Amino acid sequence: MKRKVLVIGSGAAGLAAATRLLELAPDRLEVKLVHQGHHFGGKASSTRTSSGRFIEHGWHMVVGFYDRLRALVRRAGVNDGDVFLSMGGQSHPFESWSQRIHTLDGSGDSVDFAGRFLSYDGLPIADRGNYGWFMGQAMLAARGTQDLTRHDDLCFDTFAIEHGMRPHLTKYSVFRFLREAYFNFPEQISAYHVLQSMRLMSTPARAESFVCKGPWSEVVWEPIARYFLALGGTVEPFTLATDWVWDGTRITGVRVARPDSAGHGEGTRPWEPAVRGLPGTERTLSGFDFVVSTIPHAVFVKMNRSEERMWRSPYFKRLLNLRSGATVSMTLTTREPVLEFPGPIFGFPAPLGIAVNMKPYWEEYRNDPKAGSVLDFVGQEAGFEGWSDSEIASATLDNFSRAYGVGDLRAAGVGEVELHRNRSDSERLLLCEPGVNQFRPGPRTPFDNLFLAGDWVRNEVDLICMEGAVASGHNAAAEVVSRL
């Protein structure tokens, strides 16, 4: 008889776990995927506005080392080479001292790594040698055999100064980039996370950045969901897990709610029709042998919160030390072309410090004469919670327009503006702050049949990104299969 597995959450980790379970043990497992939202992909999902345009939960980049994500996409029948488009190996730090957007060229072999900072004109000449030398040392440490996790309790600024970088260099965008990219801005970032990124990106090919040619949910995650169905899996749609039901060391049920009004889906997708007419239902899912939870940390720690026995136990108590941040994202079109840089621009004032012109990459916009540029902005909300959406949008336009050579974005004719504050628990992103790893769990839990996956769960990638989420999903699936 087949053993039953419930996978909760349909982001990168949930889709990776659910498909991997059926790839590994198709004859021995029955897998059900609990899908909360309208769109597959969790934090990396996309949606469409009433005007039919698509927007992302936040701008998402694929890095050259994302082998697991690419392989999953290929197994789902999608040609990853068609879907992920290279940004040409360049990124563009905005440095406040020069008020200019500079270019950092990521091409060339790894011997050139330190050398590229000697020609980076975003640093004054007097600082380039010291910075290039430090980055060369950091790359050597990252690529060496030492266990990088020992650098987790240090922030990267301290690591850099301890390793000979002049302290004032911490103020440059080219140094602060990873803090911003991991949304640890304005918080400090663990030196381990930066060094681990450098280790994984240690060749130009593995550091190259790519973007998706269209809406992530439609282009990437739905084909994977269809592949899961083709493998024999089933989807429990529009279902929110609220509490664990447990007995001794086993999860025996999951309390779920269907908070959404039914009938919103077109009913054309294979996972939608079953839910019509069932809004507001609360019930318990039971009868499974294993559960893989890919619920994000900020949601996970709210489940069964009134149960002191659970939350006073050392395992669960440690999870309360983890923190996550709310992100903000904004997409706008301009009539005239602006920000014609191939790669991401970063280092602008908070909250929306990163900007990318997606016009050349997004198929739907590439040949649209009404959109001269399509700007995707992203950043962390911290410090701006009291600002209205229009204040944030307006400040962002001012910040960018002040940069030398950009010109007035408003004069370029701002069209549609979509701003999202990703504040809810399921949207928040784990902060990889110093010391975080001692509190991050692995796939196993005190319950014999509950396994964890998700970007916040430790894995061989270990970074808070889609590739880490996929790796953790695979690990949780392997844990289940090893117990059959």
Ligand X SMILES: Cc1cc2nc3c(=O)[nH]c(=O)nc-3n(C[C@H](O)[C@H](O)[C@H](O)COP(=O)(O)OP(=O)(O)OC[C@H]3O[C@@H](n4cnc5c(N)ncnc54)[C@H](O)[C@@H]3O)c2cc1C
Residue choice 83, 466, 476, 480 for contact with ligand X (CB under 6 A): 466
Q: Does 392 bind ligand X (CB under 6 A)?
A: no
| Distance in Å, CB of 367 to ligand X, minimum | 25
Q: Note the helical H segments in 7-77.
A: 12-24, 67-75
Stretch that binds ligand X, among 37-45, 95-103, 111-119, 332-340 (CB under 6 A): 37-45
CA–CA gap between residue 406 and residue 373 (Å, rounded) = 13
- The residue type of 52 is G
Span between the terminal Cα atoms of the chain, in Å:
11
Q: What does the per-residue mask of binding to ligand X show for 13-32, with x meaning CB under 6 A?
A: xx------------------
| Distance in Å, CB of 257 to ligand X, minimum | 9
Residue choice 7, 44, 135, 154 for contact with ligand X (CB under 6 A): 44
Residue choice 304, 422, 459, 475 for contact with ligand X (CB under 6 A): 422
- The residue type of 176 is R
CA–CA gap between residue 321 and residue 441 (Å, rounded) = 11
Residue choice 31, 139, 355, 378 for contact with ligand X (CB under 6 A): 378
Cβ-based nearer residue to ligand X, 13 or 191? 13
Cβ-based nearer residue to ligand X, 65 or 159? 65
Q: Does 34 bind ligand X (CB under 6 A)?
A: yes
User: Of 88, 82, 121, 118, which Cα lies nearest the Cα of 102?
Assistant: 121
The encoded tokens of residue 200 equal 């994984």
Residue 374 half-sphere exposure toward CB, CA atoms < 13 A: 21
Task: Write the CB contacts of 89 (distance below 8 Å, at least 6 apart in sequence).
Answer: 105, 106, 107, 204, 208, 209, 343
Residue choice 6, 101, 375, 469 for contact with ligand X (CB under 6 A): 469
With beta carbons less than 8 A apart as the criterion, state whether 34 and 8 touch.
yes
Residue choice 5, 8, 191, 358 for contact with ligand X (CB under 6 A): 8
| Distance in Å, CB of 456 to ligand X, minimum | 7
Residues from 61 through 120 that contact ligand X (CB under 6 A):
61
Q: How many residues does the chain have?
A: 484
| Distance in Å, CB of 50 to ligand X, minimum | 22
Q: Locate the DSSP E strands across 130-280.
A: 209-212, 234-236, 240-247, 250-257
Task: Write the CB contacts of 206 (distance below 8 Å, at least 6 apart in sequence).
Answer: 63, 64, 65, 200
Q: Does 396 bind ligand X (CB under 6 A)?
A: no
| Distance in Å, CB of 324 to ligand X, minimum | 10
Q: Does 225 bind ligand X (CB under 6 A)?
A: no
Compute CA distances 197 → 21, 231, 244, 305, 444, whole Å: 28, 34, 35, 34, 25
Q: Does 55 bind ligand X (CB under 6 A)?
A: no
Q: Does 295 bind ligand X (CB under 6 A)?
A: yes
CA–CA gap between residue 223 and residue 190 (Å, rounded) = 35
Number of residues lying near ligand X (CB under 6 A): 35
Binding region for ligand X (CB under 6 A): 8-14, 34, 36-37, 42-44, 58, 60-61, 240-241, 294-296, 299, 327, 329, 378, 422, 426, 429, 454-455, 464-467, 469
